[in-house]
Amino acid sequence: MLKLTDVNTFYGPIQALKNVSLTVNPKEIVSLLGGNACGKSTTMKTILGLVRPKHGRVEFFGRRIDRLPSSDIVRAGIAPVLEARRLFPFLTVHENLLMGAYTRNDTEGIRTDVERMYALFPVVKERNRQLASTLSGGEQQMVAMARALMARPKLLIMDEPSMGLSPLYVDKVFEIIQMINREEGVAVLLVEQNANMALSIACRGYVLQTGEIVLHDTAENLKNNPLMQKAYLGVA
């Protein structure tokens, strides 16, 4: 579904990604792990067309997308759930959902999908007339996920969905990620620092370090890898 091949991304003279190659297959959950400033968010931005790779390719279902504008990438079937949620704070929850469908013009389908989101995320329905800025962090995360799904994506890219959430909401968010993947058939690329949680629901994982992929394996093997255990999983 998604394929990055030898991607090199720069910010001016600073190289952020070095020959990054990864794949996401249909209906998979794949984790992209690493510490702060290792290149996780840059990888996401490169996939979404927010920054352009200097070398390498990004392909989606065999079509090269690394030169497309972000709006066309969303139309192709990739939707982001951004770090820190990035909702429209002075729009209502309902209006934020409608913004997720901005690439669509099927009015009846949009109406149906809003109701589907309300069923999938009951708290979103309860808060649908509130301004997004009045919600808790966990509630905002639910709205951000619902907004992304309003685009009817084939691939959901989630940037640090656990950041700033209480443990209760972290568990809830990861349960919903699994449910979206299982029941909606949406593949997920999960960009996360919380390696334990990410690997608990992923099929496979990649580990980034200073812009390079240093490990790639099944989630189970990564959990049992001594280097992973010491560096990311809190095992002495």
Residue among 8, 5, 20, 35 at smallest CA distance from 160 = 35
Average pLDDT over residues 63-70: 95
Residue 120's pLDDT band (cuts 50, 70, 90): confident
Instruction: Tell me the C-alpha distance between 107 and 103, whole Å.
Output: 11
| Residue 106 identity (one-letter amino acid) | D
Tens of pLDDT along 188-204?
999 987 888 899 999 99
Mean pLDDT confidence for 79-100 = 88
CB 81 within 8 A of CB 158: yes
Beta-bridged to residue 57, according to DSSP, are 5
Domain 2-77+153-231 has CATH 1.20.1530.20: no
Q: State how far the Cα of 4 lies from the Cα of 115, in Å rounded to an integer.
A: 35
pLDDT at residue 103 in the model: 84
Query: What ranges do the domains of the chain cover?
Result: 2-77+153-231
Residue type, 183: E
Cα–Cα distances (Å) from 68 to 34, 60, 71, 157, 183, in that order, read: 27, 11, 8, 17, 30
The larger pLDDT score, comparing residue 229 to residue 19, is at 19
Give the pLDDT confidence of 90-105 residue by residue, as tens digits: 999 999 999 999 888 8
- At residue 84, the pLDDT reads 65
* pLDDT value of position 154: 95
Q: Quick check: 71 pLDDT over 80?
A: yes
CA torsion through residues 117, 118, 121, 124, sign: positive
pLDDT tens digits along 134-146? 988 888 888 998 9
Stretch 153-169: mean pLDDT, rounded?
A: 83
Residue 184 tokens read as 């909606």
Q: Kindly state the average pLDDT of the residues 3-9.
A: 97
Phi, psi of 177 (to 5 degrees): -60, -45
Asked if residue 78 has pLDDT above 70, the reply is yes
User: Strands, DSSP E only, in 12-154?
Assistant: 14-24, 29-33, 53-60, 63-64, 78-81
State both tokens at 124. 């979103």
